[in-house]
Amino acid sequence: MHPFTYTGLPARVVFGQGTISQLPDEVAALGISRALVLTTPGQAKQGHQVSDLLAGVSAGVFSEAAMHTPSDVTDAAMAAFADRNADGIVSIGGGSTIGLGKAIALRNDAPQVVVPTSYAGSEMTPILGQTENGKKTTQRTLRVLPETVIYDVDFTLTLPAQMTFTSGMNAIAHAVEALYAEQTNPVLSMMAEDGIAKMVDALNRVQAAPQDIGVRSDALYGAWLCAVCLGSGGIALHHKLCHVLGGSFGLPHAETHTIVLPHALAYNAPVIPQAMDALKRATGTATPAGALYDIARNGGVPTALRDIGMPQDGIDRAIAFTLENPYFNPRALERNALTELLTNAWHGTRPE
């Protein structure tokens, strides 16, 4: 018997195709009478579509969401929120847009309805990362957890091919670490295994059929399960390395996850037999780390840190930062083994 603690987070989830039509009802159910619609500049068109659907309940579109939730963008969004007498938020987009909605909610506790369009998973977590004066800080508070999430597969059909893979691998990473994190428990492990299986299967089929609703809905469903793992579970070495590489070397979020995951998994593999059994079932292979690497390579996305701007002489520094303030990890952090891990990730060597 393994004792465990499980924390479920409150969230209402509407899942399907065409579910955006339920947005006005979901907004009303939260008591929102004027919703500010948030997007990035690139998704402003989708924002206006959603704003039109809300008709008189829309407080217009704020389309300046940006990577890493810069505080000046949040300030501008807060001003728009006040000027337009908004009392709620509708975020439509990936992790950057959802981050902006969370940053507003942190400041004024506005209710949020989120329509995720990538697989990054921020919608299911009480986590917010913000950047001020070039410094990113992350906090965990239920105040930023979105109240309602509408997954509408139609909005994922426009996800570019490369981002489909990197964002999908980002999702898988959340679930992989939930299998062996300190807070691991059988309920999350069940979600993690199914989430990974759905996403792996979808990524293996999506190139041939990027507009297939069945494939895209498997990916989105998998992304949801993986997001629950990030929100309620724990993280370990993989996420630590990605935070160091993103924070100290400015490497892009989803690409970094994609490259590091197979190597971080290979590092931990010898000490996580139960998690490896789950991953063998989920990937349908005897070598899950290699299988994850193959998905990225077959998807045509970067598999080497050197290809996304990591300097080779930064490896030692990255390891020093990792060891300075380590996260829990099932295998002890050994400098030489970590150097081998990051060197392999830098070259893009396929792990077993």
Give the separation between CA 180 and CA 185, rounded to whole angstroms: 9
CB of 117 to ligand NAD, least distance (A): 3
Give CA separation, 149 vs 66, 195, 213, in Å: 20, 17, 19
Count CB neighbours of 178 within 10 A.
Answer: 30
Number of chain residues interacting with ligand NAD (CB under 6 A): 29
Instruction: Assign 3-state DSSP to the chain and report helix, strand, coil percentages, each to 5.
Output: 60, 10, 30
**Of residues 34, 68, 281, 306, which one binds ligand NAD by CB under 6 A?**
68
**Of residues 37, 100, 153, 159, which one binds ligand NAD by CB under 6 A?**
159
**Of residues 63, 156, 217, 232, which one binds ligand NAD by CB under 6 A?**
156
Residue 120 interacts with ligand NAD (CB under 6 A): yes or no: yes
Residue 319 interacts with ligand NAD (CB under 6 A): yes or no: no
CA atoms within 13 Å, Cβ hemisphere of 194: 11
Within positions 234 to 253, which residues make up the interface with ligand NAD, using CB under 6 A?
A: 253
Residue 118 interacts with ligand NAD (CB under 6 A): yes or no: yes
Residue partners of 187: CB distance under 8 A and separation at least 6: 6
**Of residues 51, 112, 125, 131, which one binds ligand NAD by CB under 6 A?**
125
Site stretch for ligand NAD (CB under 6 A), options 11-19, 89-97, 276-284, 314-322: 89-97
Give the separation between CA 229 and CA 232, rounded to whole angstroms: 5
Give the separation between CA 247 and CA 150, rounded to whole angstroms: 30
Environment class of 332 (CB within 10 Å of its CB; exposed 0-12, middle 13-18, buried 19+):
exposed
**Of residues 23, 128, 199, 338, which one binds ligand NAD by CB under 6 A?**
128
Residue whose CB is less far from ligand NAD, 93 or 348: 93
Residue whose CB is less far from ligand NAD, 206 or 269: 206
Specify whether the CB–CB gap between 47 and 61 falls below 8 A: yes
Count CB neighbours of 296 within 10 A.
Answer: 23
**Of residues 11, 37, 40, 262, which one binds ligand NAD by CB under 6 A?**
40
**Of residues 8, 42, 214, 270, which one binds ligand NAD by CB under 6 A?**
42
Give the separation between CA 192 and CA 265, rounded to whole angstroms: 15
Query: What x/- string results for residues 187 through 226 when contact with ligand NAD is judged by CB under 6 A?
Result: ----------------------------------------
What would the two tokens of residue 26 be? 């979901």
b/e 134-149 (16+ beta carbons within 10 angstroms → b): eeeeeeeeeebbbbbb
**Of residues 19, 26, 36, 43, which one binds ligand NAD by CB under 6 A?**
43
CB of 116 to ligand NAD, least distance (A): 8
Specify whether the CB–CB gap between 19 and 152 falls below 8 A: yes
**Of residues 88, 111, 129, 195, which one binds ligand NAD by CB under 6 A?**
129
Residue 51 interacts with ligand NAD (CB under 6 A): yes or no: no
Give the separation between CA 290 and CA 251, rounded to whole angstroms: 23
Residue 90 interacts with ligand NAD (CB under 6 A): yes or no: no
Specify whether the CB–CB gap between 206 and 218 falls below 8 A: no
**Of residues 23, 38, 104, 127, which one binds ligand NAD by CB under 6 A?**
127
Residue whose CB is less far from ligand NAD, 203 or 276: 203
Residue 229 interacts with ligand NAD (CB under 6 A): yes or no: no
**Of residues 117, 189, 322, 344, which one binds ligand NAD by CB under 6 A?**
117
Give the separation between CA 229 and CA 227, rounded to whole angstroms: 5
Q: List contacts with ligand NAD (CB under 6 A).
A: 40, 42-43, 67-68, 93-97, 99, 117-118, 120-122, 125, 127-129, 155-156, 158-159, 163, 167, 230, 253-254
